[in-house]
Structure 1
């Protein structure tokens, strides 16, 4: 009995915390989303977090998935950290070279090279139009190893940027690189990256320090890019009506797409506060590049259901 009395005060807070965490999982919402996911011709991983209430929904949220261009969020985060630490600046001059010009999304592949751009210009292009060439320029400037080291610093276990976009990997690669291509992540881990932008958390994991004025300026710049992101067929598709102003959208997001992959990770600033939604679909049968691609529409419907319920 004495031993029980001694142990109980130590473990009781952990037990209560575990119960509270479990209670935050919106099981009714999960049940509402599952029928749509089950009829999709492909695989779906989803995680959403209502930051204000603490509610979450998770479906295959810890399954490693191909990132496509969503991995560019980690490049943006590393840029903010290097600027915060004084190692880089938005107005730094970076070189656009022919070696980094690759096909796919973006416009810098059509520019005459070589020429000089600013780091902020490159990051803006990387996010707003998911410019692949701009991404390669940013990776060269920031350092691929630095980006992956930062991913580990964040405590992410299943997220990795393997290489530059549309170029072969350099050096020894993990065995799963061929499976995932550009990068891998999970719906939960990438939601955590997006949440850091939404809450302006540039601190080391576990820190409760409030953002400084400089931090807030950096986060505002990143959110400005994300809110003006060009591809709006998934999370924002049925939610843009939330934006009734002539200013920026109330939805910040970053998409990623390959023939059999459609992803979108965003934060919706609804009337009750920000909601992070992280959606990944892969092995999709519908490989069409139209706004009505089955996976694009599915992600839009899932996002609408989540926001409608949590509002």
Structure 2
């Protein structure tokens, strides 16, 4: 059931969420779902979105679903050559020497610091087609992977033209980026990303020790400037995965309260500015999520 509950301050919940985005110079779409009841607060929740690194949630969930089915071994050691790694600012992407790590340790790096090189070793191990098949099996038919991280970045550089990475703050170059078009890149909707997380927390992706380990991996993200910023409490746990593209700042995750309340939240935003650093836009992700979760928690049945 989708709800629109008035909260503190003027206007209904969706109006307050829209204002949170507008005040930060962004537009946004959101889906927040009570994991146990299915009640939902939605704003543009069925809008197609470019997922960027949020799609690593699909990759890691598929790894553990395949493990539970006995088709893949998360403990399998995988070689990471020194050359040819996917670009990125963190993790194996900036390391210089060859390495060997298990699939599940690569998954931890892909989630914890959004390590593109680690993710691409996993993409090769798990298979893009397997990830897409898993999403279809879960009923998430609008969640589709088109390319791995290396291919995504290559597309960006090609579209940016002769200016290279420095051009990615140039409005003219940003306007040419096909990765900002959900029809031409990795994509989903806020509703489907929230549904994926709800399925993970309800053991519908995989159960038992594999479900426990999957949730633990999704809880190791280092970044707290988006979704977690809306829930600055020592006793509230936030698990999530960010995603970033020029003008776009996203996060999908789960917020767990000490009273047992559990909420899957997916927030996707686009800024008017092409600046790479926009703290207000990052914080709007957490602010909008908090408004939505507070509305769900305000239900009389909570």
Aligned partner (choices 86, 94, 105) of residue 121 of structure 1: 105
Which residue does the alignment assign to 1:275? 263
Query: Structure 1: which 5+ residue stretches go unaligned?
Result: 1-20, 170-175, 204-214
Aligned partner (choices 171, 184, 189) of residue 187 of structure 2: 184
Confirm or deny: 8 A CA contact 1:100 1:137 kept in the other structure.
Answer: no
Which residue does the alignment assign to 1:196? 199
Confirm or deny: 8 A CA contact 1:45 1:60 kept in the other structure.
Answer: yes
Which residue does the alignment assign to 1:25? 3
Change (3 A) 1:154 1:52: closer
Confirm or deny: 8 A CA contact 2:32 2:293 kept in the other structure.
Answer: no
Which residue does the alignment assign to 2:168? none
Q: What SS is found at the alignment partner of 1:161? A: coil
* 1-structure distance, mates of 2:135, 2:36: 25
Change (3 A) 1:195 1:108: same
Which residue does the alignment assign to 1:172? none
Larger of the two Rg values belongs to structure:
1
Q: Cα deviation per residue 1:133-171 (whole Å; 9 max; x = unaligned)?
A: 0010000011111111212222223211111103247xx
Q: Cα deviation per residue 1:17-68 (whole Å; 9 max; x = unaligned)?
A: xxxx3xx422532233233334553331100112234321111110101101
Which residue does the alignment assign to 1:229? 221
Q: Cα deviation per residue 1:179-217 (whole Å; 9 max; x = unaligned)?
A: 2465111000111111122222126xxxxxxxxxxx221
* 1-structure distance, mates of 2:134, 2:102: 22
What is the CA-CA distance between 1:224 and the residue it aligns to?
A: 1.6
* 2-structure distance, mates of 1:278, 1:151: 16
More divergent stretch after superposition (216-225 vs 188-197) = 216-225
Confirm or deny: 8 A CA contact 2:35 2:201 kept in the other structure.
Answer: no
Q: What SS is found at the alignment partner of 1:237? A: helix
Which residue does the alignment assign to 1:15? none
* 2-structure distance, mates of 1:266, 1:254: 6
* 2-structure distance, mates of 1:219, 1:188: 21
Aligned partner (choices 277, 290, 295) of residue 281 of structure 2: 295
Change (3 A) 1:231 1:262: same
Mapping of 1:151-162 within 5 angstroms? 151-162=135-146
What is the CA-CA distance between 1:105 and the residue it aligns to?
A: 3.8
* 2-structure distance, mates of 1:145, 1:52: 30
Query: Structure 2: which 5+ residue stretches go unaligned?
Result: 7-12, 156-177, 298-302
Aligned partner (choices 243, 264, 281) of residue 256 of structure 1: 243
Confirm or deny: 8 A CA contact 1:100 1:133 kept in the other structure.
Answer: no
Residue 212 of structure 2 is aligned to residue 220 of structure 1 = yes
More divergent stretch after superposition (266-275 vs 118-127) = 266-275
* 2-structure distance, mates of 1:64, 1:30: 19
* 1-structure distance, mates of 2:26, 2:14: 18
Confirm or deny: 8 A CA contact 1:62 1:188 kept in the other structure.
Answer: yes
TM-score by structure 1 length? 0.78
* 2-structure distance, mates of 1:260, 1:85: 39
TM-score by structure 2 length? 0.80
Count of residue pairs brought into register by the alignment: 265
Mapping of 1:1-311 within 5 angstroms? 21=1, 24-28=2-6, 29-98=13-82, 100-167=84-151, 168=154, 179-180=181-182, 182-202=185-205, 215-241=207-233, 243-244=234-235, 250-270=237-257, 271-282=259-270, 284-290=271-277, 293-311=279-297
